[in-house]
Structure 1
């Protein structure tokens, strides 16, 4: 379903369906600058979650800061291509893409599991 570059992008940047929805909303209206408030209202999401998502997108260089908020502007054309692929798949096969997101290992869950790993002396 996903090419390797898109799968890597998904694993690196998309932690939840909310994250994907936020990114696709920003991409769909890429000329617009979004504040945490306007994106929260658009997604009907919790403000702290949207604030965290926008911060992660800024760190990943998927959005840029403007005087009015954040605007979709990936620094890498490969990232933009991956987002295009995700948008197409989400429109065509949403359930399959959601399963792919849910199957991604969680950093927190992996950290918890690693805490129980036996170490060799």
Structure 2
């Protein structure tokens, strides 16, 4: 479904379903400049979610705000664009598999956290 590089990027840079959804909305038309209200409406999210997502996408090198308070998709490198393109294709073809891959990191973290509090004999 996804190459190892795309899977690692998805799990460690995209991190959340909201981030993936908003990234794909932005990538749909890279020339379109969105304001926050438009993205909230299009993604059916909230101001808080959008703020977190945009911070994540900016850190990942996937958006440009150009100082005009409008958000555009722009990958910082061709390598990032290839990873995002691969994820977008996989999401279009097998959305459940992409969601499972994305959420598996979260469940691993929860399981590791729960394991730290296990009572009893450890072997």
Shift of 1:68: 4.0
Unaligned ranges ≥5, structure 1 = none
Kept after mapping to 1: 8 A contact 2:14/2:57: no
Q: Which runs of 5+ in 2 are unaligned?
A: 119-123
Question: Which consecutive segments of 4 or more residues in structure 1 shift more than 2 A?
Answer: 105-117
Q: CA RMSD in A?
A: 2.2
Give the corresponding residue for 2:8: 8
> Are 1:101 and 2:102 matched, yes or no?
yes
Q: Is the 8 A contact 1:15 1:101 kept in 2?
A: yes
Say if 1:62 and 1:114 are closer, same or farther in 2 by CA, change over 3 A: farther
TM-score (norm 1): 0.83
Shift of 1:36: 2.0
Where in structure 2 are the equivalents of 1:87-98 lying within 5 Å?
A: 87-98=88-99
- Is the Cα–Cα contact under 8 Å of residues 33 and 68 in structure 1 kept in the other structure? no
Tell which structure's C-alpha radius of gyration is larger.
2
